[in-house]
Structure 1
């Protein structure tokens, strides 16, 4: 599990405005209803994000992360993965997520992404550049999304992406790296026990070989899920991760 119920996203440095967030239910192309959370800034700036959560799906950490983005002027929608298998229900710590994780397939996930993008673009700044931001499983899915030109992203952001995680028996994010078409910002912990730095460097090398603009950062000594307000030992890594994300979004918006 990436984040428990007590985890909260760090607060970005600098000036913040106000934001409003709401639970919404979206409809995928195959008729599936699934949960999402939309956060709208009082004064929109450039860029908007679609947030891919960790293995637990849409829980409180990601709703608050959407609000943190909106407070700095970036509209955000966080989506749930499990509408087809778990319906619309709570994703608190009592949710047994793994049977549902094992049923996630890329083709239906991409349908949900498109539904999320449609809602975001209809209810936020339709002209804004859009970026997926994924964590753990969501980081892997962010890289998988980077192979799909039809989404019209300007770049993708992946936190501690499971580079060798496959969905529905398909290829892993590392195996798909030569098909990525958008700039990539990758943020990893140097002490992450599940993601060897050698895998991260292989991803970096593949992107460079293809000529994809990339920035891959490994925070020395930081573990998986270091981006957490409670993790005071990694507060500087979290602050820098915010700076990197906002700079990346500004650069491509």
Structure 2
């Protein structure tokens, strides 16, 4: 799961369109306090996004990605998963995240994301965008509803979540890596079949030959795929922002 080390941002930022950015600590409904990073747009597009990182938690890549979303007009919050077990101190690249991943539950992710969604929803529709572990949780949360307008996930690790609920949820965008090793084509086939049975709208795009983590760790080798994925995110969120 997520082995390469390239953490460069997915594309050069659009200068001058992020009004503000800041680290912060949020407190969820169950009392958990956790790290987050907020970026506000200078020119809002009326949409919000909660970024769900990979297993590293609030890595610098996801702070940079929050800024990129703000530059595109989104109110953006990237969250950390590990407030309950690792506290709220900032962490370096040597952070040993796997012991904390093993203690993370779906209910905890839902509760923490809910805190970010509550604030963003005051000004417009909110989407989740996740990667690996976060990609699967992004799909799960949107399929459940949770006040979301849609859920976007890159190469979600489906083993981290169960089957989607048997009732319609918010629309999903599945951005898959053709050479993914975190989830198999058979697992995706079973997952999308369950979405079909539930009546949850979903669309899939597969980047043939791309490895797991191509967007968040291998941008330099997969720039064209990353740029296409960004365009698909912009289109998906625009189409599903109408009330």
CA–CA distance in structure 1, aligned partners of residues 83 and 206 of structure 2 = 33
Question: Which of 152, 159, 172 is the aligned partner of 2:154?
Answer: 159
Q: CA deviation at 1:11?
A: 2.1
1:105-184 to structure 2, matched below 5 A, reads: 105-121=105-121, 126-149=122-145, 151-165=146-160, 172-173=161-162, 175-176=163-164, 178-179=166-167, 181-184=169-172
Q: CA deviation at 1:119?
A: 3.2
Cα distance, 1:17–1:129 mapped onto 2, change above 3 Å? farther
CA–CA distance in structure 2, aligned partners of residues 147 and 214 of structure 1 = 10
Unmatched tracts of structure 2, length 5 or more: none
Aligned residues: 240
Partner of 1:52: 52
Q: CA deviation at 1:196?
A: 1.3
CA–CA distance in structure 1, aligned partners of residues 167 and 12 of structure 2 = 32
TM-score normalised by the chain length of structure 1: 0.87
Question: Which of 175, 180, 203 is the aligned partner of 1:192?
Answer: 180
Q: CA deviation at 1:230?
A: 5.0
Cα distance, 1:72–1:3 mapped onto 2, change above 3 Å? farther
Partner of 1:97: 97
Unmatched tracts of structure 1, length 5 or more: 166-171
Preserved contact between residue 144 and residue 165 of structure 2 (Cα < 8 Å): no
Partner of 1:238: 226
Partner of 1:72: 72
Q: Relative to total residues, which structure has the larger strand share, 1 or 2?
A: 2
CA–CA distance in structure 1, aligned partners of residues 240 and 91 of structure 2 = 33
CA–CA distance in structure 2, aligned partners of residues 110 and 182 of structure 1 = 15
Q: Secondary structure at the match of 1:221?
A: strand
- Stretch moving more, 220-229 or 18-27: 220-229
User: Cα RMSD between the aligned structures?
Assistant: 2.1
CA–CA distance in structure 1, aligned partners of residues 43 and 127 of structure 2 = 19
Q: CA deviation at 1:106?
A: 1.9
